Amino acid sequence: MNKLFLGLLFFCLVMPLFAETKEELDIKHKELLEEYNREKNKLLIPKFSGAIILPEKLDLNTASYEEIKSLPITSEQAEDIFDYRFFHQFFKSIYDLREIESIDQVTLNKLKPLVSVSHYKDKDEAAQRRDEIYYLIERLGSNEGLQEGMSDVWEDYLMTPRNINKLTFSDILNLPNVSAIDVAAIINRRAIGDTISSYRDLRHSPGISYYGAKNIRHYVYYKEQPVTRKMFVDYQMKYNDSPYPDDALEMFKESMIRYEGSSSEPSTPEIKKQSYWGFFNMESDRASMLNKLRIRYLNEWKAGCIFNTSKGEENIFKKDNEDILKDSKFYVGYEKELDLLGRNFLKIYAGNYRATFGEGLVMENTDFYSPRKTGYGFNKRITGIIPDISRTQEYALRGIALDWKRDNLNAVFFLSKDEKDAVVYDSNNNGKLDDDDDVLSYITMTRRFTDDELESAEEYFNDYPNNYNAVDIAPRKDALKEQIIGGHLEYSPFIGTHIGMTGYEAVYNRDFVVPETDELKHLLISDPEYAEEKWKITDNEISALYSTRSDEIGDRDYRRVYGFDWRTVLNNTSIQGEYAELEVDGSIFKIGDDPKAIIVSAYTQFENLYFLSMYRDYDLEFDNPYHRSFSESERFDDTVFEKLTYALNNTLLTDMYLNSAQPSAEKGIYFETRYQFSRYFTITKAYLDIWERKSDARRGIRFQGKLEFKPIHQIRLRGRYKHQIKRYDDDQDRGKSQADEYELGFLFYLSNFDKIILGYVYGTVLQPPYLSILSNPAQAGAPDMAQASTLGNGDMVYVGYTHNFNKNLKVIGAFSFWQGHGVSFWDFEDIELDFDQEDRGFKFWFNVHSRISSNLFLSIKYKYKQFMTREYEFRDYNDIPDEGEYYFQRVERKENILRLQLDWKF
Amino acid sequence: MKRFLLLILLLLTMHNLYSYSILESETGNYITNFDARSSAIGSAIASGGNNLFDALTNPANLGFVQDKFGCQFTALVLKDADNRSLPMYNSFDAYCDDATYVSNINYFENYAFGAYYNMKFSDINSAVSVIYRPFMNFDSHYFEEVRNNQNSDYNSYPPIIAKNYIDSEGAINTLSILAALTYKDFVSCGIEVSKLRGNSDKERSIIWSDQALEKLGTLTDTTNTLTRDFNAFQIKVGGKVKVNRRLGFGIAFSPKIEFDVTGDKDGVDVENAVYSYTKFDSLDNPTDSLLYSDFYSPMRLRAGISYEPRNIMRTYFNCDIEYTKWSDVNSLYDDELSYYIGIEHRLKNRIPIRLGFNYQTCYSLHEHSGKVFADKVTIPTFTAGTGFTLLENFNCDISFEFSNRQYEALDLFMDSFYDYDELWEYPQYLNLQDRNWENPDTVKETFINIQSSISFKW
């Protein structure tokens, strides 16, 4: 009892003292914090209460400079300690002091009893979040080229995840690398009243795949939003001085002057200025520059703008306000779940937006073509409406879009009014291209010349002495006023299944008119002889362009495309498809009486295997400019736009092929799989495509398989084989080409910081015996006549190295050398694809990635590429006299490329 | 000892080695900076400069120099590979590519030196400095051979007909006095007053070979000369604010400089020698001419930001924008913005890794159909570098700069000049004609600049 009494007495006496001490500590700590906050202008909060700091020890994470200086160390050492905390990082333990150069072990031993380290957590949770998912942001950035704008949407969801227990089917399906089967597994669970409480819980959802769950996990939260910050701003600047692609160079450099007789007469004066390249002095074209700004409040309010100056274009400072408004892109939007007689999901966007539905048959507005776009894995589509500040300009939609979802219904409505670049021809034969002339087609220009520029060049070419080629067809910037009204209606009767309808009507201020074939070939090809000779059956694709002039129903000023799509998930298989029609002469309510397109696919998923099969069939006349579904090649492949640049009335028409975003008219069946059949072996991707091109019934087979062997995590051996045949089903051997490619690669993780990749590629191409190949060989005296098919072969070796100095500084570099005649290679460079061709060459590049701070990121890439261009051809063609030397020091091309990207996220 | 020897070696080679382009042989090449650290971080130093020569970009940088006394030297090797190529045509007469016919790589010399003294009075820090350095350089060399079309069956090269030279030498050097005041290490202002003085000599010559003279004795060598002396004063002012330990802003302004130019062009006083016509009346008659004595340096306004974030490596990030009023030099030029970005990371062992990028523009003038046009040429530059402590008070910085530019130009020595049948083995195969602006040369230049600075601080 006495002990109890004494204990109580002691408690009563001591506790106030202790409380006072704690209060003092708190005050001191508070003062320290305030002082520190003033210094670093950034709020930090202690993870634990200040009471844990012992009074006799100085907390290195909160002490002021003066306090650190009071320790038994020199003022330089005190400054170094303070700077370490201020400019490097907070102390995790007192042993971090040894990281400071001026603190040796003796000093540390001396300081040990005098200092402590409290645990701190950076209050900037957005920075912390970014740090956690940085590798994903980096990966999204590396796919930006293929995904064009979608990366921004995914990055927003990474930074501000959404509640998985509230997301709709399409919301989850729109995440990268997530299949409909994974989504159905999640929604099915929720449908029975279950909620998903953690990643582990998600992973155990019946039917979900390992990869599906893994890919979803960073985009969603389960109980509590990990980031409470609401306002986010992202700014990006990109500078890129890459040269024009080779095929575009040929287009710009081709002569626009034709002389009486034949355009191939060698007497044609060799004058550089008779090409667009020479006329516009494109040697000095300035680099491309992109500035992009996005602001958002949660995932609700969003706004953004982009000013993209493509290579050669005038920068923003040289444009007037009207052009700035036309050439830039911007949006404001609002997305919200509303509780209005139930759960409603609303999205509304004004400005530029992207609209994608189904499989992209009716509407998917991007300027960029992607072959074999399955809609799965890395070829994902985000269906519905999303904001758009991508580089897409020609097929950009600008106006208002509304997306509303409720229960089983989804309705989208969109309006757009924008001016498009178009190919205009002198249809009224008044000798000039004016507003009264008809339009042949949309066009995406490699360099977006202004009308004044184009007119001055055409005037120069037309007035050229003895030139008979009058330019009466040419691209024109913003020549076509397009107003689009469209919508999508979708009903989901049960989980994983929906049927939807999509349609749009585009109204134009000018007529799209495709002349009769005879007239068309002479319009496109300047030389009458060539017009007859060179016009091939593949050019049907041009004749089949949409025309607003109809013999059946008279003239109209619109284009209507409509269709329906569906999806259903049955166990581990998802079946989906879309059917679309372009209204030409048929009835709007009758199916099958107009040019049509259909695509159907089935995707089966197991834990270690997926299998995709797909069938597509697009009519030649199905000319929907917003069509972006699966195909093997882009529109106008093998037509005069690709093959006959030198004979075109206007060489710039080659852009019709070069930047075509529409798929070629084809039908075929495609299979794709990934299969991890043992712990060590994985078929990372294998596909087989068998298709027929509609324009000329040419058939093709393409197979590619990649196998990876991973004996241990640090070592990977990769093999790839590609085989492709394109030929007609008759004896026209000249129509056959066959390519085979073999690749063997090794990847070694040398340490936690270093990675090396070595590889070898060998390829062969069997080509038809075109005279142009056999008569222009390297050696003089080669046969002039076609004798047999030619087999070209080439190979490439490459080595790549990655070194991480630490998590904030990384250098990636590679070297490759190739040699081959008629064989080309695609090479994936860090974050972009490069196409290596020509006889032989080499290149090296390196890219430095620096995370300057938690919200500032810099990437600088330098590339040097040197390759032979056409030395043999030049030597052969430049009138080498029979006697005498004709020596040029070099006919090789050297390219120095710089690319800079700066991202500021706060 | 090794380090000491290295220091001596660097001191002995204490000169800048320059190689400049023929493009700037008359207009002069403006030298951006002399500090290897600044060079490595893309010359983005309006706010983030902390070495003596950074004060040349923004005089206010001098106010933040901490040591009492210091001096700095810079050595620099700059390689300019100038490749000129003529357009090549395929069988359909389409211009396909270019074949290089002459390649020049040259080296020249120059030097820079500076010292400063720093005094502290209570909260105010004052610093003065004297720097001697080149402001603009005219050095360039061009050489090409004209060979005849004789074949090489006899194991010999075709003989030389003529040798063509363009030699330009000279520089405008500057003796600058800089002063800066800093209040509480928070804000500083600085001024630079410079006397600019220099000269340039340019000679363009065609020297016939003995063999050519043997075949055609009437040939005479051709030489054109341009000699100029330059004189001017420059004032530059700058300000810098360190908002806090992380963030700083800097701004620098240098007005247009008008040079007093004397000299002669082929024996004609430069004040009477017409360089080009820039304005024309309604009938396209030239009205306003640019003379060889018209020599200006444009007004420049540069603003920059420096940021030192928290990073697991000590990190400095700098970014500058510079407005250059090119219209001060020539009414045909547009005013331009230049961009500079640089970053410095200091790794665990304190070795700095520096990276940078800058984007600048210059102009080339050319005449076509009696009118003069100005073509803008952009110069992107990638930079990298590092540094180390040589002796206790000596620091050495090393930088690497790579830049390239591409533009069109006329053949510097026109083909018709050599159109004498006597000089050629097979004149029947030749059709020597001047290629004008309808068929110009493509000039591709790459600059590699390796710079080292040694600074002594006490």
Higher local confidence (pLDDT), A779 or B251: B251
Output the CA–CA distances (angstroms, integers) from residue A897 to A809, A859, B405, in the order listed: 21, 14, 11
- A529-557 burial, b at 16+ Cβ within 10 Å, e below that, comes to ebbeebbeebbbbbbbbbbbeeeeeeebe
User: pLDDT for A554-595, tens place per residue?
Assistant: 888 999 999 999 999 998 999 999 999 999 887 878 888 899
Q: Which domains does chain B have, with CATH numbers?
A: 2-259+295-457 (2.40.160.60)
* Domain membership flag for residue A72: yes
CB B309 within 8 A of CB A854: yes
Look at chain A and report how many structural domains it folds into.
Answer: 1
The partner residue sitting opposite B438, judged by closest CB among A271, A287, A890, is: A271
Closest CA to B15 of B107, B88, B102, B104: B107
User: Do A888 and B149 lie within an 8 Å CB cutoff?
Assistant: no
Which residue in chain A has the smallest CA separation from B404? A896
The pLDDT of residue A148: 73
With CB atoms and an 8 Å threshold, state whether A852 touches B343.
yes
Residues of B within 8 A of A270 (CB-CB) are 87, 89, 93, 95, 439
Q: How far is B2 from chain A (nearest CA, A)?
A: 23
For residue A852, list chain B residues with Cβ-Cβ distance below 8 A: 307, 309, 311, 315, 317, 343
* End-to-end CA separation in angstroms for chain B: 21
Nearest chain B Cα to A282, which residue? B407
Contacts of A272 in chain B (CB under 8 A): 87, 95, 438-440
Chain A residues touching B442 at Cβ < 8 A: 283
The pLDDT, as a whole number, for residue A266 is: 39
Residue A46 lies in a domain: yes
Residue B12 has pLDDT above 70, yes or no: no
Q: Would the pLDDT of B237 be above 60?
A: yes
pTM: 0.85
Q: Could you tell me which of A267, A878, A888, A881 has the C-alpha nearest to residue B426?
A: A881
Residue of chain B nearest A283, judged by CA positions: B407
Task: Say which residue, A776 or B132, is predicted with more confidence.
Answer: B132
Tokens found for residue A442: 């949309």
For chain A, the first-to-last Cα distance in angstroms comes to 64
Instruction: Name chain B contacts of A280, Cβ cutoff 8 Å.
Output: none
Residue of A41, A241, A870 lying closest to B96 (CB–CB): A870
Position A93 in a domain: yes
Question: Rounded mean pLDDT of B235-263?
Answer: 93
Best mean pLDDT range from B86-95, B197-206, B282-291? B197-206
Residue A53 lies in a domain: yes
- Here the ipTM equals 0.81
What pLDDT score does A52 carry? 46
> B371-427, pLDDT tens digit by residue?
677 888 888 999 999 998 877 788 889 899 898 888 888 888 888 888 888 888 777
**For the segment B144-172, what is each residue's pLDDT rounded down to a tens digit?**
888 876 665 555 667 788 999 999 988 89
Q: How far is B202 from chain A (nearest CA, A)?
A: 27
For testing the chain B interface, which of A852, A863, A864, A905 should be mutated: the one with the most B CBs within 10 Å? A852
Q: B-chain residues within 8 Å CB-CB of A870?
A: 88, 90, 96-97
Residue A510 C-alpha, separation from nearest chain B C-alpha, in angstroms = 34
CATH number at A71 reads 1.10.150.280
Residue A901: list chain B partners with CB under 8 A: none
Q: Cβ of B307 and A99 within 8 Å?
A: no
List CB contacts (< 8 A) between A856 and chain B.
Answer: 307, 309, 317
A65: closest CA of chain B, how far (Å): 13
Q: Round to whole Å and give the CA distance between A483 and A418.
A: 7
Q: Which of A273, A805, A888 sits opposite B99 (nearest CB)?
A: A888
User: Chain A: nearest CA to B344, how far in angstroms?
Assistant: 9
Rounded to the nearest 5 degrees, what angle is found at the Cα of A40, between the Cα atoms of A34 and A46?
55
The span from the CA of A849 to the CA of A855, in Å, is 14
Contact between A374 and A602 (Cβ < 8 Å) = no
**CA within 13 Å, CB half, B106:** 23
CA distance A848 to chain B (A): 9
CA of B149 to nearest chain A CA: how many angstroms apart? 5
Contact (CB<8Å) B94/A255: yes
Closest CA in chain B for residue A871: B99
Report the distance separating Cα A529 and Cα A77, nearest Å. Answer: 86
- Cα A256 to Cα A522, A526, A659: the distances in Å are 16, 10, 21
Inside any domain, residue A11: yes
Report the pLDDT value the prediction gives residue A11, as an integer from 0 to 100.
40
CB pairs under 8 A between A and B: 208
Parallel/antiparallel/unpaired status of strands B296-297 and B257-258: antiparallel
Q: Which domain holds residue A105?
A: 2-123
Spans of chain A below 70 pLDDT: 1-56, 121-123, 143-146, 260-270, 729-735, 768-790, 821-822, 831-833, 835-839, 869-891
Q: What share of chain A is helix, strand, coil (3-state, %, to 5)?
A: 25, 40, 35
Chain A residues inside the 8 Å CB shell of B101: 888-889
> Alpha helix locations (H) across A596-722?
640-643, 655-658
Q: Which residues of A touch B85 (CB under 8 A)?
A: 890
Is residue A471 a part of any domain in this protein?
no
Neighbouring CB atoms inside 10 A of A641's CB total 23
**How close is the nearest chain A Cα to the Cα of B155, in Å?**
12
pLDDT in tens, B41-95: 999 999 988 889 999 999 999 998 878 898 998 877 778 888 888 887 766 666 7
Kindly state the tokens that stand for A362. 């009716």
**Is A493 within a domain?**
no
Which residue has better confidence, A274 or B259?
A: B259
* Cα–Cα distance, A400 to A484 (Å, whole number): 10
Q: Are B252 and B56 in contact (CB under 8 A)?
A: no
- Nearest Cα residue in chain A from B246: A40
Q: Can you tell me the mean pLDDT for B216-221?
A: 90
* Three-state SS at B216: coil
Chain B contacts of A83, Cβ < 8 Å?
Answer: 314
Q: Is A105 part of a structural domain of the chain?
A: yes
